[in-house]
Structure 1
């Protein structure tokens, strides 16, 4: 099964990571960055097809494709068992997404998780955004640096993580212990909920604790991808401090 990936950074990273690219479609008017992508594709023996911009628009819809579209093999997922087997117990660091349906937020969360060194992003098959071209473009090619784990039952997955010794903390903006006072270091998984309702009640109950970001200013809430990014790097700071 294949899908369309678009955007200069996303396509460049996909080629560099050895992603299976079936074909590359580019517009005739090229900039140096696009020429670099074409050269990389040619070196990998990927078929390069020159198109008019309207043809690219028809392929991917009303998005900013930046003059390049790649037909790629759909992103592979790993099972929770594989995710745990691939990481040492003391270094486990995961991000769990509960009901993230906006593709831009999904992509931004994957990018933050990859930057923070998470081994995996775990999300449910239902009530979750699929991994689309918009997700990959927003993630800016970082899907190759973090494992994606799609599960049937998110609650059961959290229980399995806890059995494996992973501490699970939910990001709850209106309640919970201060992010800067919580004992956040690996093995750990952070749970981020949807924009509108946050973490579902059942998932909240399964968490070992709830954490909140102190906000002394006049802003009462943050975008989920921004808030999660702050929390992820607080885990990094705590874990590095413990390792010293």
Structure 2
């Protein structure tokens, strides 16, 4: 396979959104779980042995692949953090709450599937890291408002492959989501540092939604009015608050401790 210089990203289809994913972990998981969505692969010569099965699959399925230099891949990805590989693939679209409700009803363990709602979380690095945390703890679904930004290459890379294990759903608004969740019997707990119950002194119900607020402003007022309880992670107080992705890891860790380690009931 000879090297080929690529001067830019391939043109996007007008019908199906496409995204250039880059980084070894996300590309490995994408190839494992959504191979049919792959359009084109870019790989450095150094990474060829690691991605040989994928390149062979491309050759056998009339999918384009290009062996490029690290410098050329930096231009293609628009980032120095490409780790030697990138994949142009169809971008997963956000599904509706109706779709989520059908999925929950179809799963026998639905009573013990907690949810996470992102109320204004915008930073792609935080979103990607949150997806990594969700995948690590086995939480399969995340919800946000329909105005949230589409999945980005930066978020996908930060997820370290976790984005391929987490489905994203869009609600009309935070209030609409809260009303929908309560109609299905979910308790809604929002994170807050003011007038809140301490996380480690709070019993977390099986059917639970954690609401994560904006990185700076916290929960929006309309969503905060809908939560059943505000909870706080105890800290030293030397800094104002935890990073939202760090807080997510602590919340999910405590939920797992209460429902798996204490009760002995795995999900």
- Tell me what 1:21 maps to: 38
- Tell me what 1:103 maps to: 124
Aligned pair 1:164/2:184, yes or no?
A: yes
| Among 26, 41, 58, the residue aligned to 1:10 | 26
With structure 2 as the length reference, what TM-score do the two structures score? 0.83
**For residues 14 and 216 of structure 1, what CA distance do their matches in structure 2 show?**
40
- Tell me what 1:58 maps to: 75
Name whichever of 114-123 and 53-62 sits farther off. 53-62
**For residues 41 and 163 of structure 1, what CA distance do their matches in structure 2 show?**
48
Per-residue CA deviations over 1:178-214 (Å, capped at 9, x if unaligned) read 0012221321110001111011111111111100001
Aligned pair 1:221/2:221, yes or no?
A: no
Note the 1:204-219 alignment, pairs <5 A.
Answer: 204-216=224-236, 218-219=238-239
Per-residue CA deviations over 1:102-121 (Å, capped at 9, x if unaligned) read 10000011111122222311
Q: Is the 8 A contact 1:53 1:67 kept in 2?
A: yes
**For residues 86 and 155 of structure 1, what CA distance do their matches in structure 2 show?**
21
Aligned pair 1:39/2:53, yes or no?
A: yes
1:243 deviates by 5.1
Note the 1:114-153 alignment, pairs <5 A.
Answer: 114-126=135-147, 128-153=148-173
**Count of aligned pairs between the two proteins:** 240
Runs of 4+ in structure 1 off by over 4 angstroms are none
With structure 1 as the length reference, what TM-score do the two structures score? 0.91
- Tell me what 2:223 maps to: 203
**For residues 9 and 114 of structure 1, what CA distance do their matches in structure 2 show?**
13
When residues 155 and 38 of structure 1 are mapped into structure 2, their CA distance, relative to the original with a 3 A threshold, is farther
Q: Is the 8 A contact 1:93 1:117 kept in 2?
A: no
Structure 2: stretches of 5+ with no match in the other structure = 1-16
1:217 deviates by 6.1
**For residues 41 and 177 of structure 1, what CA distance do their matches in structure 2 show?**
53
Compute the RMSD of aligned alpha carbons: 1.8
The SS at the match of 2:202 is coil
1:43 deviates by 2.9
- Tell me what 1:78 maps to: 95
**For residues 243 and 82 of structure 1, what CA distance do their matches in structure 2 show?**
30
Structure 1: stretches of 5+ with no match in the other structure = none
1:13 deviates by 0.9
**For residues 111 and 3 of structure 1, what CA distance do their matches in structure 2 show?**
19
When residues 38 and 125 of structure 1 are mapped into structure 2, their CA distance, relative to the original with a 3 A threshold, is farther
Per-residue CA deviations over 1:47-87 (Å, capped at 9, x if unaligned) read 32112333322222134111211001101322212212222
